[in-house]
């Protein structure tokens, strides 16, 4: 559940080669390791927004995104909304304006 863990580190932890892990990970989890890591980052960012953090640049940095723009691109691709609109929805208790 740590998005900073990379393929070689995870392979050592699981006791298999990076090549084997990269082949079986999608079969077991349903997506590639990089996609899974991005989902973990996004979940962390949403958690921070849910805790009341308003600074999206700070949330992006804490979640491991390159910058606020990177967070925005990923949120829009995965969730169909920008972090700002997600933050506003969270603050309104999930109700749409």
Contacts of 73 (CB under 8 A, 6+ apart): none
Mean pLDDT over each residue of the chain, to the nearest integer: 89
Residues 54 and 87: beta-carbon distance below 8 Å: yes
pLDDT at position 6 is 82
pLDDT at 97: 52
pLDDT for 62 equals: 92
What CA–CA distance (Å, rounded) separates 85 from 36? 23
Residue 92 has pLDDT above 90, yes or no: no
Buried-state track 49-88, b at ≥16 Cβ within 10 A, e below 16:
beeeeeebeebbeebbbeebeebbebbeeeeeeebeebbe
At 18, list the tokens.
């990076």
């Amino acid at each position: 559940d740590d998005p900073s863990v990379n393929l070689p580190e995870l392979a050592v932890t699981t006791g298999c080669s990076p090549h084997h892990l990269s082949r079986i990970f999608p079969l077991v989890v349903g997506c590639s390791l990089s996609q899974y890591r991005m989902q973990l980052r996004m979940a962390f960012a949403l958690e921070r927004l849910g805790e009341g953090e308003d600074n999206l640049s700070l949330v992006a940095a804490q979640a491991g995104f390159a910058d606020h723009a990177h967070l925005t691109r990923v949120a829009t691709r995965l969730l169909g909304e920008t972090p700002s609109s997600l933050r506003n929805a969270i603050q309104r208790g999930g109700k749409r304006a």
